[in-house]
Amino acid sequence: MRIWLSIDMEGVSGVTRWEDVATRGQDYQRARSWLTGDVNAAVAGARAAGATEIVVEENHGVEMLTNVLLDEVDPDVDVVRGIPRNGPTTAAALDGSFDAIFLVGHHAKVGDYPGICAHTISYGEYKDVRLGGRSVSEGEIFATIAAQHGVPTALITGDDVVCAEMARVVPGIEQACVKIAMSRTGGRIIPPTRAQGIIHDAARRAVERVARGEIEAPPVEPPFEMEVELRQPVRDEGRAAIERHAGMTLVGDRTVAFKSDEMHQCYQWAATVQLVASGRDI
């Protein structure tokens, strides 16, 4: 069984604040170790249930998406890191050859209070990211990409808010709740050593349940219509760049809309809106 494992940082055990996941934070280097420990726990749990190959893809947008500690991570996984990756996306290795995907260290979507460090794609630039007119998380985006390949999303690890959110997207998904959110930057934290035991057991159950056919990919219906609402109005140079970009349309003065039959294409466009809106062609 092959598992694709997307890792983010805000939902990692031990992480509470924005500073924990940025290089300026006093605990950033420790948080990298917590992240790697959570990954190893998920990998070990998956292997205990029969997983044979695991590809880990970094999704946290700090230091060019190179946060996992390679000298601490399980040596038998492959790690996708750095950018670009055949386009501006962090789902480059995800395709239909996998039997399931895991979301480790993920966070709640933009506006989902009190999710710890809740946002979608961009902390500061994006006010909202919508799919079909409703706010969407990165986890749901990945689950939708996977579903188009017929691949189920089997595990979510993070705070109670993102776990509940992904349970609505993928009924029956295994959850490893490693903290209870009390605010954007505070919560009741399970220390990483104990939290990683929770992740291990949830990952094992996830693989077992996928093997039994108990977790399935959610139904998807293209085309997918997405919008990115920016926090600041788009200036003239950005308007011109959006007009030149095939597929993007500016709605009002700060919302960029696009549509595709492929969720992966929508994700690529969503990830690049802030670059195009700044006036840069990509």
Instruction: State the average pLDDT over residues 164-172.
Output: 96
> DSSP secondary structure string, 87-120?
SS-S-TT--TT-SEEEEES--PPTT-TT-TT--B
* One domain, residues 101 and 238: no
Q: Which of 161, 183, 211 is the last residue of a domain?
A: 211
pLDDT at 279: 86
- Is residue 282 scored above 60 in pLDDT? no
Question: Burial, 256: exposed, middle or buried (Cβ in 10 Å; 0-12, 13-18, 19+)?
Answer: buried
* Phi, psi angles (nearest 5°) of residue 187: -175, 175
Q: How many domains does the chain have?
A: 2
* One domain, residues 118 and 184: yes
* One domain, residues 163 and 261: no
* One domain, residues 32 and 149: yes
Lowest mean pLDDT among 85-99, 181-195, 236-250: 85-99
Per the domain annotation, does 23 fall within a domain?
yes
Per the domain annotation, does 217 fall within a domain?
no
Question: Burial, 173: exposed, middle or buried (Cβ in 10 Å; 0-12, 13-18, 19+)?
Answer: buried
Location of structure tokens 């997918």: 224
* One domain, residues 202 and 233: no
Distance CA 244, CA 258 (A): 13
Instruction: State the average pLDDT over residues 201-228.
Output: 97
Q: Which of 167, 187, 211 is the last residue of a domain?
A: 211
* One domain, residues 192 and 248: no
* One domain, residues 17 and 147: yes
For residue range 28-83, list pLDDT tens digits in order. Answer: 999 999 999 999 999 999 999 999 999 999 999 999 999 999 999 999 999 999 99
- Is residue 268 scored above 80 in pLDDT? yes
* One domain, residues 99 and 190: yes
Confidence of residue 142 (pLDDT cuts 50, 70, 90): very high
Q: Supply the CATH number for residue 101's domain.
A: 3.40.50.10780
Per the domain annotation, does 218 fall within a domain?
no
Confidence of residue 87 (pLDDT cuts 50, 70, 90): confident
Per the domain annotation, does 219 fall within a domain?
no
* One domain, residues 43 and 163: yes
Per the domain annotation, does 132 fall within a domain?
no
Instruction: State the average pLDDT over residues 205-231.
Output: 97
Tokens matching residue 2 = 């092959």
pLDDT at 18: 96
* One domain, residues 55 and 116: yes
- Is residue 102 scored above 90 in pLDDT? yes
- Is residue 251 scored above 90 in pLDDT? yes
Q: Which of 211, 238, 265 is the last residue of a domain?
A: 211
Per the domain annotation, does 131 fall within a domain?
no
Per the domain annotation, does 90 fall within a domain?
yes
Instruction: State the average pLDDT over residues 119-135.
Output: 96
- Is residue 281 scored above 70 in pLDDT? no
Angle (nearest 5°) at CA 251 between 250 and 254:
80
Average pLDDT for the chain: 96
Cis preceding linkage at 192, omega within 30: no
- Is residue 10 scored above 70 in pLDDT? yes
Distance CA 49, CA 38 (A): 17
In the chain, % of residues over pLDDT 70: 99
pLDDT at 88: 63
Tokens matching residue 235 = 């200036």
* One domain, residues 268 and 186: no
- Is residue 226 scored above 90 in pLDDT? yes
Range of the domain at 250: 224-277
Per the domain annotation, does 272 fall within a domain?
yes
Instruction: State the average pLDDT over residues 244-253.
Output: 95
pLDDT at 138: 97
- Is residue 160 scored above 90 in pLDDT? yes
* One domain, residues 173 and 249: no
List the beta bridge partners of residue 229.
Answer: 128, 255
The reported pTM is 0.96
Confidence of residue 86 (pLDDT cuts 50, 70, 90): confident
Give 58-70 as a 3 state SS string: ECCCCCCCCCCCC
pLDDT at 66: 97
